[in-house]
Amino acid sequence: MSDPNLPDIIYTKVDEAPELASYSLLPIIRSFADAAGVSIGLKDISLAGRILATFPDYLSENQRQSDDLKDLGRIVKEPEANVIKLPNISASVPQLVAAVKELQGQGYGIPDYPEEPSSDEEKEVRARYDTIKGSAVNPVLREGNSDRRAAGAVKRFAMNNPHSMGEWSSDSKTRVASMSGGDFYSNEVSATLSAAQAGDAKIEHVAADGTVTELKSGVSFPEGTVVDATFMSAKKLDAFLAEEIEKSKEEGVLFSLHMKATMMKVSDPIIFGHAVKEFLKPVFDKYGDELKAAGVNPNSGIKDMLARLDDTGKGDEIRAEIDKVMSERPPMYMVDSGKGISNLHVPSDVIIDASMPAVIRAGGKGWGPDDGQHDVNCVIPDNSYAPVYDETIKVFKESGQLDPTTCGTVQNIGLMAQKAEEYGSHPTTFEIPSAGKVRLVLANGDVLHEHEVEAGDIWRSASAKKAPIEDWVKLAIERQKAEGCEAIFWLDESRAHDAELIKFVKPILEEKGVADKFKIMAPREATRQTIETIRKGKNSIAITGNVLRDYLTDLFPILELGTSAKMLSIVKLMNGGGLFETGAGGSAPKHVQQLVEENHLRWDSLGEFCALGESLKFLADQRGNEKARVLGKAVETATQGVLDNDRSPSRKVGQPDNRDSHFWFALYWAEALAAQTDDADIAAHFKPIADAMKTNADKITQELAEAQGSKADIGGYYHPDADKTAKVMRPSATLNDLIG
């Protein structure tokens, strides 16, 4: 083994709801694994943890913490890697700023986040914070492509216990709006590099007067890399937004914007900022200078803007103007209508992968400022992937919503390894300072791509390396072979990047003699075809690029299972290790609020159970650890037990929650271990534990129930107090004794 100190399995410390759940679940996992000699390590990839690890020079000795993300980034490249990754916060600027403030309040002397860095020191601090911002963990850990699907048992359970689905009617006014040109889709160019073109490339801006400014150098492109470049025109974006705001009003629907400001951390907050400015245009026209002087950055949303109004010296006047403009605008899609939090308040509140499926599942309805449900104009400016939602909505209007009791399932094989596609585009995305050209110059001096741009345009280059692309096609072939069902490469031959990928895909399929088993279809056509397939009760495999991986693994699970939390999410690391992600959803901030207010945690850990089972099985296969196999098989039985006996958490206070589901999981796990005959020692160890858990089941669930109903103090949001949180999340003394 390359690293003798590597634990058998590494679990991850994260944020928000999944981290709260870990306080209860991880002690159970550790105690069971320990009995079978399987070691479980822990690495901190939480937002707060990453901030502290980035600023050791600002902290006292005992406050410092190791850079676990860096360690993990190394570990996932080792063949023995076996990591269970829970979802962490991909922080928007407001989230990052809030986390910094909380840590400062706890006595950590870290610097403020410089919104507009001017001195060298501020620029250095800002550069460090920029490494923490947005999707900063996944691109590092995902050194493999993605395989996401619902386990058979989970899908069967959903068919027998369907979630509610809103009804779609053919006269719904809900629709998707995208730009008619000038977007990333229409400006994209792409090429695959030859050996002569490989090496370190650079990106340059050439101003109208010929001045050349280097935007980025040392962008490493090995031979065979697919290199794209594209831009979104700021002018066309603004005109489009203005038109859609007007149209929403005329059509009597809610205005909504769906972006991925967290994962697409450079481009999407800028697009979000354009929407804020356009929606409040009269305010910015009138008070632009004052707002700028007060540090208002539209990319951070209306909430941040409101908080800074008093610093303008014209707080009341501007507030009145905002209210006036809002009353003239179409009603906005709300995040929390009760608290007046709109779609444009915080860039990370409405995240497209979760938000669009929610609208679609609800029959095309969103919440308006009047606390009522209405049809929505779903604005998704770029056309690269918007057609998926547009077509889903069209199909549902034509022939109704899906029936979860009969529909088949959509699995996904997603290209994401080694920062493929948009994941690697953050350092090569720029808001253009002045009109001119942007060009991408290769190591040999070739100008590979060039665009005429104007000030404010958003230019970006993304790339995908050859080895990950080939690995992705092979993974798709394996999966199709295992399932024998329809398999579609969601690639659009009229899109530059996709056309390059198709040049890789076709020869591999031919060479392996499986070309007849696969279709290649543009996202819109693939959406229709796939929905038709699953409507007939059959299954389909969607083989997609990185962004569609993200979108589809929320969209279809939310329609089929009611949530993406129940997905099995496996990343076969390219160097041989395994990364087992828990579910396909996020970190559910709403769930934390509920815990703090009424001590009920509705987070469903089914994703964690599935990942644990896979991780243990992988340990057994990879290293011949037969005790891990015994543990892993029993995890599957326990997961089935949680489903069969309806032990998943409920949404309402006073009913069993996340902690109850962990107790039942532990009981079923112990029973399965006691009952198995592959390892007598393990059976003997767990027999008394299983018996004691069963005998005390009433007492334990009683103790858990008594904890609910009042406020819970966990001593922080981004950096909760470990002792307080453990106390809240482990309220049953009887269970704690049994776990030991």
Ligand X SMILES: NC(=O)C1=CN([C@@H]2O[C@H](COP(=O)(O)OP(=O)(O)OC[C@H]3O[C@@H](n4cnc5c(N)ncnc54)[C@H](OP(=O)(O)O)[C@@H]3O)[C@@H](O)[C@H]2O)C=CC1
Ligand Y SMILES: O=C(O)CCC(=O)C(=O)O
What is the nearest approach in angstroms of ligand X to the Cβ of residue 585? 3
> Residue 203: which of ligand Y, ligand X, Mg ion, none does it interact with, CB under 5 to 8 A by kind?
none
Signed CA dihedral, 443, 446, 449, 452: sign only: positive
Q: Which of 138, 172, 640, 661 binds ligand Y (CB under 6 A)?
A: 138
Please choose, from the candidates 673, 606, 677, 619, the residue with its C-alpha nearest in 3D space to the C-alpha of residue 646.
606
Q: Quick one: which segment of 82-90, 312-320, 383-391, 672-680 binds ligand X (CB under 6 A)?
A: 82-90
The rounded distance, in Å, linking the Cα atoms of 304 and 293 is: 14
Kindly tell me the burial class for residue 120, based on how many C-beta atoms sit within 10 Å of its own C-beta (0-12, 13-18, 19 or more): exposed
Of 553 and 696, the one with the shorter C-beta distance to ligand Y is 553
> Residue 256: which of ligand Y, ligand X, Mg ion, none does it interact with, CB under 5 to 8 A by kind?
none
The residue count for binding ligand X (CB under 6 A) is 22
Of 91 and 309, the one with the shorter C-beta distance to Mg ion is 91
Of 68 and 550, the one with the shorter C-beta distance to ligand Y is 550
Q: How far apart are the first and last CA of the chain?
A: 31
If one asks whether residue 585 binds ligand X (CB under 6 A), the answer comes out as yes
The rounded distance, in Å, linking the Cα atoms of 280 and 322 is: 7
Q: How is residue 74 written in tokens? A: 């190394």
Of 22 and 355, the one with the shorter C-beta distance to ligand Y is 355
Q: Which of 604, 614, 657, 703 binds ligand X (CB under 6 A)?
A: 604
64 Cβ neighbours under 8 A, 6+ residues apart: 52, 56
The rounded distance, in Å, linking the Cα atoms of 244 and 178 is: 9
Of 353 and 421, the one with the shorter C-beta distance to Mg ion is 353
Q: Which of 46, 95, 135, 337 binds ligand Y (CB under 6 A)?
A: 135
Binding-site entries: 85-90, 135-142, 148, 353, 549-550, 554, 586-587, 591, 602-604, 651
Binding-site entries for substrate: 135-142
Binding-site entries for D-threo-isocitrate: 148, 549
Measure CA 372 to chain center: 28
Kindly tell me the burial class for residue 515, based on how many C-beta atoms sit within 10 Å of its own C-beta (0-12, 13-18, 19 or more): middle
Q: Which of 245, 283, 354, 592 binds ligand X (CB under 6 A)?
A: 354
Of 258 and 662, the one with the shorter C-beta distance to ligand Y is 258
Which residues contribute to the site for Mg ion (CB under 5 A)?
A: 353, 550
Q: How is residue 317 written in tokens? A: 């006047």
The rounded distance, in Å, linking the Cα atoms of 614 and 577 is: 12
What is the nearest approach in angstroms of ligand X to the Cβ of residue 694? 27
The conformation of residue 576, written as its DSSP 8-state character, comes to S
What is the nearest approach in angstroms of ligand Y to the Cβ of residue 144? 13
Neighbour count for residue 733 (Cβ, 10 Å): 11
What is the nearest approach in angstroms of ligand X to the Cβ of residue 243? 27
Signed CA dihedral, 111, 115, 119, 124: sign only: positive
Tell me the sheet residues that pair with 657: none
The rounded distance, in Å, linking the Cα atoms of 8 and 81 is: 8
The residue count for binding ligand Y (CB under 6 A) is 9
| Residue number closest to ligand X, CB atom | 586
Cα diameter, the chain: 82
Q: Which of 49, 87, 523, 577 binds ligand X (CB under 6 A)?
A: 87
- Per-residue binding letters, 134-163, with ligand X (x by CB under 6 A): ----x-------------------------
Signed CA dihedral, 246, 248, 254, 258: sign only: negative
Whole-angstrom CA distances from 561 to 32, 419, 536, 582 are 29, 29, 17, 15
If one asks whether residue 462 binds ligand Y (CB under 6 A), the answer comes out as no
Of 193 and 558, the one with the shorter C-beta distance to ligand X is 558
If one asks whether residue 412 binds ligand X (CB under 6 A), the answer comes out as no
If one asks whether residue 384 binds ligand X (CB under 6 A), the answer comes out as no
What is the nearest approach in angstroms of ligand Y to the Cβ of residue 529? 23
Of 68 and 660, the one with the shorter C-beta distance to ligand Y is 68
- Per-residue binding letters, 583-612, with ligand Y (x by CB under 6 A): -x----------------------------
What is the nearest approach in angstroms of ligand X to the Cβ of residue 563? 5
Q: Quick one: which segment of 81-89, 336-344, 400-408, 665-673 binds ligand X (CB under 6 A)?
A: 81-89
Q: How is residue 578 written in tokens? A: 């395994």
Cβ–Cβ under 8 Å, residues 706 and 712:
no
If one asks whether residue 88 binds ligand Y (CB under 6 A), the answer comes out as no
Residue 28 has, within 13 A of its CA and on its CB side, a CA count of: 31
If one asks whether residue 590 binds ligand X (CB under 6 A), the answer comes out as yes
- Binding stretches for ligand Y (CB under 6 A): 90, 135, 138, 262-263, 353, 550, 553, 584
